[in-house]
A and B are shown apart, each in its own frame.
Chain A
């Protein structure tokens, strides 16, 4: 039993923390925000060069073969920067290409994804789907030599992407987990229109529309109709990474707030001396510690090859649930304790709130996550 970070993990954390200090101070982040889609291609390559994309990939695919616990260490260190880079869709897409791709697809995409030179977006959320992971009204109808895509996706992460990995339905009912397939489609494909916008943290996203979009059979990634389970696995891993990021942000938010409470004086006393504030900060710290534990558990269970699939997914999704809940709590309290300045663009803590809100909602909010776990438990009992 050992919960200490290894030397390698400490070195990993240090190198990413240094990156944030150099590249993601307030002016650095503001400069990226001002770029189209909030995306800095050079900056992303620099981060990829530190090994972020390679970190969890198999060594056979030129990855570093590290685990979710290592990925969490990296994301905790990167969190406070409030990254605008497309690390999240890249993590998911790289994992799916690595697991499902044929040699040609791996060769086409993995080197570029790992180096940061290729950006792929990940399109799965739909306007009518609520937060159901299996809901997919975007259909891929089989034709001569390929498919025709029709449908719409929203909140597609990965602005500045050259191509997009799209989840589309080749069979089954609209909310069925059966009949889903993945396709890698170039963004300048005929029949594909997009609208760029920004998410709450300033990061870029897209709405996509497919109208009679013709694609070759070779664009399909993996077996037709069998995409749901690998996608669910990849999203579960992404959830663990997001937990790490949120915990890193929350740690920094707590530290900034403690510093503020110590220096800010009203009514002749430092705010830190007011018992009511001490109690609420204690509550926030207590909640954060629980989220940290549950996220770490999800990472460790995920890294253990003996963990059954359902248990691995339940651990990841429930960690996301608790982290989401805690993120909102800590965001609101830390902004509140800064007073009016907390809701302005002048301070980091307000920007941190916006990123925490997004993390809390990505892939489903806390209730979606616990409901998904209930479904997985029922399926586990039935199966």
Chain B
């Protein structure tokens, strides 16, 4: 049993570190640190995406035949970890990490040739059309209809919580093509051009002041059948493939550990309740230490699952814990960060981006300005991509056999 990286893996880690040191400007690091939402502005990530693409590292998780780097699962983990430690902007995940694996596995060669290069070049910016007002946790209850008419589908319905739909030019959607079968069996996966007539986008403001989410309306939208990925009625399988594909490869704990290290460092200078440095507040430091330990435990689980995956094994049911950990620990960090700031943390800066040099000087630091929006936005971590309630049921069922 050994948790150390091999010499070759360490050399790779150093290569990544050097690359980041030389090619990730402070300006982009600052933008990433001052982004309280889960998604960095496209202007920021497209710039970083171009740098990675030039190095040949953008499509690192793709199969080699489609432009992937051929990295092992451990190398992929090391790369993501170093990016998290360096505060690299998160790359827009929708096209790169959600659609691309699906196209590689289920797409026609025509679809692969058309769409994959444009994800890499940034020409196509994708958003995800899954959730609907009546289909959140129960996604199979989705109602957006796609009716076949010759070589087109006519799409009618609505998708909601579509992040950055207002900044995207393509959307991948789960739609209902068959009303007569079991819900999961009547779903298909469509790629839709956002410029198609009949599509409209309504922004939805968040309580943080961020404007990431939207509702997208489809009114008699013509979509070529050639834009369907996989067979008709195979959409649910296609979507679930992604969940399986991602299991055991997660690298989320390092980002949490970095945020905790930042908070611990700031505790030396932040005022606590009795106007002494926060580092003397035993109660706060104890609670901080507990959250750090939870994040370390999460990191160990990610490494164990990574090890299983690297050995070619199917990652165990403990992987169901990671979603719950991510929500709980992220939200605990946000609470502590807010608490540490006292009244200064209860200011709400609604101007965006927070890293705009023209913004009025904050009462405290840059990080202080992001703390409250982050707390408010990150309430979404226990809701989006699976609520914590659903996670717990999954854990009980798959890990504990309770049902």
Contacts and interface: CB of A to CB of B under 8 A. Distances in A.
A374 B257 CA distance: 34
A198 B347 contact: yes
Contacts of A6: none
Interface residues of A, number: 49
Nearest to B331: A332
B138 interface: yes
Contacts, number: 127
Contact of B136 (A276, A339, A358): A339
Interface of A: 125, 127-132, 135, 154-155, 175, 195, 197-202, 205, 207, 266-267, 274, 276-277, 328, 332, 335-336, 339-340, 342-346, 350-351, 353-354, 357-358, 361-362, 364-365, 367-368, 371
A332 B343 CA distance: 19
A365 B204 contact: no
Interface string B303-321: 0000000000000000000
Interface string B116-139: 000000000000000100011110
Interface stretch (B60-68, B191-199, B383-391): B383-391
Contacts of A354: 207, 348, 376
Contacts of A125: 343
B7 interface: no
B360 A353 contact: no
Interface size class of B (residues with CB under 8 A): 35 or more
B13 to A, nearest CB: 37
Contacts of A346: 204-205
Contacts of A132: 273-275
B275 A266 contact: no
Contacts of B344: 127, 154-155
A342 B379 contact: yes
- Name B's interface SS: mixed
Given A175-B275, A207-B363, A340-B383, A131 B207 contact: no
Interface of B: 131, 135-138, 141, 160-161, 204-208, 213, 271-276, 283, 335, 338-339, 342-348, 350, 360, 363-364, 372, 376-377, 379-380, 382-384, 387-389, 392-393
Contacts of A276: 389, 392-393
Contact of B346 (A175, A200, A266): A200
Given A125-B343, A195-B360, A266-B138, 6 more contacts: A175-B275, A197-B347, A339-B383, A340-B213, A345-B204, A364-B273
A361 B342 CA distance: 7
Contacts of A277: 389
Nearest to B362: A197
